[in-house]
Amino acid sequence: MINEIRDDAQSRMKKSLEALDTAMKRVRTGRAHPSLLDGITVDYYGAETPLKQLGNISVEEGRTLTISPFDKTLIPQIEKAIMTSDLGLNPSTSGDLIRLPLPPLTEETRREFVKMVRAEVEQARVAIRNIRRDANSDIKELLKEKEITEDDQRRGEEQIQQLTDKMVGEADRMLKEKEEELMTV
C-alpha cells in the first residue's frame, strides 16, 4: 500500500520536473536552439499545430534559427505566430526560408530571464510539496482505516519526505545550471 503511494508520488514529481525542464528550454540564453520554438503553435487549417511539425527548424551560424516550412503558403502565419509569442524575435523571410536572428542578451534581459526561471522553479517546488501533502494524507487515511500501523505511517512519511527532498534538490540543481547558462556572456 505505502509503496504504491510512494511510487505514484514519485511519478507525479518526475512529471513536475519534466514540465520544469520544458519551461526552462523555452527561455532564451543567447544561443540559437530549435527548442526555443517548442511552445509556438500556428493556425494550420483551423487547428493549432506546433511549429516544429510544420517545417524543418535548424541553427545557422550559432545565433540564427532558420525555418523551412513544408507548406510555403504558411510563411505569413508562421511569422505572425513568432511575432506574437513572448520570445521577442523578429522573423525575416527570404524566399521560402524564415530566418530568426537572436539578438545578444543585455544584462537587464538576462536578469529578467533569471527571474522568470526562478518563478518556474518555485512553481515546480510548490507542485512537488503538494504531491507530498497528497501522499501523506493518503497514508494517514490508511492509518485511520487501520490498514497500516503507526510505525508504517511514520516510515512511509519519511520515505515521502526523502523523495520530496531529492526532487526539490533536482529542481534547485536545474535552476543553478540555467542561471549560470544565462549569466555567461
Record the pTM. 0.72
Of the given ranges (84-88, 123-127, 169-173), which has the lowest mean pLDDT?
Answer: 84-88
CA distance linking residue 167 with residue 183, whole number of Å? 24
Domains and CATH numbers, the chain: 2-25+107-183 (1.10.132.20), 34-101 (3.30.1360.40)
| Interhelix angle 150-183/2-25, nearest 10 degrees | 10
pLDDT at 30: 66
Query: What are the tens digits of pLDDT across the range 6-49?
Result: 999 999 999 999 999 988 887 766 677 788 888 888 888 888 88
Query: Is residue 62 over pLDDT 80?
Result: no
Query: Is residue 132 over pLDDT 90?
Result: yes
Higher pLDDT, 27 or 130: 130
pLDDT mean over 117-133: 95
CA distance linking residue 159 with residue 3, whole number of Å? 9
pLDDT mean over 136-144: 93
pLDDT at 121: 95
| Cβ-proximal residues to 130 (8 Å cutoff; 6+ apart), any chain | none
Query: What are the tens digits of pLDDT across the range 75-107?
Result: 888 888 888 887 778 888 888 899 988 887 788
CA distance linking residue 76 with residue 73, whole number of Å? 7
Q: Which helix (H) or strand (E) holds 53?
A: none
pLDDT mean over 52-73: 87
